[in-house]
Amino acid sequence: MVSLENKIVGGFVIAALVLGYASTVLADVTSTVTLAILLAVGVIAPMLVTNYLDRTGAI
C-alpha cells in the first residue's frame, strides 16, 4: 500500500517534471530557471507539505 507521504511526493515530482518541460519548451527560459523550478517544486514543496502534515497530525 502506498502511503500518503509517497503520494504527495509523487504528485509534486510529476508536477515538477511537467513544469520543467513546459518552462524549457514553451517559455524558452534558461536552464538555471528550469533547475530552480525542479528543485522548488520537486524537492522543497513536498518536504514543506509533509512536514506541515506531520506537525498537524494529518499523517
Q: What is the mean pLDDT of residues 12-29?
A: 92
pLDDT at residue 59 in the model: 65
In order, the DSSP letters of 1-18 are ---HHHHHHHHHHHHHHH
Rg (CA), the chain: 13
DSSP string covering 17-49: HHHHHHHHHTS---HHHHHHHHHIIIIIHHHHH
The predicted pLDDT at position 16 comes to 96
Q: What is the pTM of this model?
A: 0.85
